[in-house]
Amino acid sequence: MSDYLAALKIFVTNFRGSEYLLKSKKNYYYDEALEEGIHRVNSFYLPLWVLLGGFALFGWIGKQLTDSLDVLSGIIFLWLILDGLIVTPVLYLYFLPRPIGEHIKKVEMTESKIPISTCRHKGDND
């Protein structure tokens, strides 16, 4: 269960600028193995394609079941919740090394009080 929660946290907090918006993310960094797993998931935009495919599938199924826009909106909203809480974290679980918690490291301070945590995403420019 803790791997699932760690994958959910990575999914929710994995966006550009998250270290500026989420102060708690500044205290942790991901080791190289975890960074590689995150890169494998995001390199082909797998969470986005799964979300869009689910929207299309659930929208088509909803349209076949009813012509009511309220019901169709509810079905699509249900897919959005299912994708965010179950499907995409499981996708991350498939690609990330386990146990995920051991790959999330706490930032340690040096004598000059500068954090040592500069794990960069592949492709980031200096």
Tens-level pLDDT at each residue, the chain (126 residues): 689 999 999 998 888 888 788 888 888 888 899 999 999 999 999 999 999 999 999 999 988 988 889 989 999 999 999 999 999 999 999 999 999 989 988 887 544 555 555 555 555 554
Please tell me the distance from the alpha carbon of residue 29 to that of residue 105, in angstroms, as a whole number: 5
pTM assigned to the model = 0.76
Nearest to 13 by CA among 75, 112, 23, 62: 23
For the chain, which residues make up each domain, given as ranges? 2-114
Nearest to 49 by CA among 5, 87, 4: 87
Q: How many CB atoms within 10 Å of residue 7?
A: 23
Identity at 112, one-letter amino acid code: S
